[in-house]
Structure 1
Amino acid sequence: MKIGIIGGTGDIGEGLAHRLSQNHQIIIGSRDKDKACESSECMVQCLSERGCSAHCCGATNQEAVDIADIIVISVNYRHLESTISSLTGFENKIVITPVNPIGKSDHFYYNPPAEGSAALAIKKMLPESAKIVAAFNNISAQKWKNLDETLDYSVAVCGDDKDAKKIVMGLVEEVSELTAFDAGPLETSSIIESITPLILNIAKFNNMKDVGIKFY
C-alpha cells in the first residue's frame, strides 16, 4: 500500500515511516519538501545499515495526500486545522489520526475541541467520503524511532467504516509487537485520546519514562 504521512518529519511520523517502509511505500510529507526528502534519505540509509530495505520518498503534504491510498495525519493538534484546510484530495481515502488534544499546566490534561475529540473534528473538516480511523494515539513519540526498542503495547482502534478499521488494525500489527484492539465507532475516540494525558501524568509523577498501555 501507499501510505502518506502528513507531518512525516516529526518523531511519530518518522517512527511510523521507519517501521512500515519495509512492507509499504511511504510518502513522507512536509511543508518543506527538502526537509522531507532529507528525512527519507536518512531513513533509507539507517535501515540499509541494519540490512533492511526501505521504500519511501519525500514530498510536500499535498503530494503525500495525492499519491497515497492511506493518509496518516501526524501533526500537533495546534496545527491541525491550518494544515488540513490547506490540503485537498481526501475523498474515499482512509485517514488515520493519532492526534491528541492535550493541555499542560503543572500537569497534562485532555483539552478536546467542541466536536468532542480530535478525530471527530477531523471528520468534520474532511469530505464525507473520507474514512477516519483513530489509532496509535497512546504510544510515546520517543519509542517510535528507536528501532532497537520492542513496541509491545496495545493499540485501541476506532472508526465508523468497518473495512477501513480492519485495514488499519492490520497495519498496527505489522509494527513490532503491537496488538490492535477494536475500540468501536469513532465516537469513542475521545476516550482513546484522553488516555494519553493520563499516561503522561503517570510518567511525570512517578519518575517513569515512555509509559504505554497493554490490555490482557
Structure 2
Amino acid sequence: MSKKNWHEKLGKSISADEWYRNYSTDIPRCKVCNNILSFIAVANNNRTTHFRHPENSGCPTIGYNHSHFANLLRTEQDETNALYLKKWVLENGYLLYKQMCEILGASIKYPEFTEILIAGNHRKCWYYFDLTVSILPYTLLVNYGVFQKEKGRKGREQRVFLAFDSTITTYEQLWNNPSAAAEYVFRIYPDSQEYEVIPIGDIRNIVNTEPPEYFQRYLVKSNLK
C-alpha cells in the first residue's frame, strides 16, 4: 500500500487523503503499471488513507516485481556504437557517475558505480542498437536494480530503484520513434510502494565534474574495454 500516487491532471503526486477528499471523481491509476487503485482505511480515523493495487498487479512498486521491468530485450547488437560508448565512459566516468546520482536522487557509493558498470557488461548494455550517451545513465541504472538503504547517505533512507514504463519491452523503444511512455522513468521506493516520475533527457546542470584522484581505480575495476 502507498500513501501517495501521481495525479495526471495536477502533474504531481498527492496523498490518498487529499485525493479522496478533493478529487473523488478522478479514478486513481498507478502511472507505473496503469492499474486502477483502490482506497484503504477511508472510514477509519485511526489509520491513514492508502492506495492499494489490485491483487497480482505485477507492479514494480511492489518490491518483488521489480526484476521483470529490468529485463528488457535487445533487438539488435551494435558493435560500433558499443566501442564509442565504452570509450566515452572511460573518458567521462565521473560525469556519468554524477549524472546517475542526479537521476537516482541519491548518493551512489564509488564501489556501487563499479558494480553498475559490471552489471552493464554482464547484460551487454553497450551493444543496444543506437543507444545514446544521454540515455546511457538511465539504462545502466534500470539494469542494475535495487539500491539498498544506507544510513546517513543522501536519498538512501529506504531502498530505491528505477524502472521504465511497463509498456516498453525493448530498450530501442526509448530512442527509436519514442512514444510518450519513453519520456520519463520511475524512481521507485518499494518499501513504501511510492514512486516519483522523472523526465528523461540530457542532464546539463552537473557541477564539480573534476574527479578525485582515487576515482579512476573504481572505473578501472569495471574491466570496461
TM-score interval (norm. to shorter): under 0.3
Structure of greater Rg = 2
- Compute the TM-score of the two structures, normalised by the length of structure 2: 0.25
More strand, by proportion: 1
The one of the two structures with greater contact order (alpha-carbon pairs below 8 A, sep at least 6) is: 2
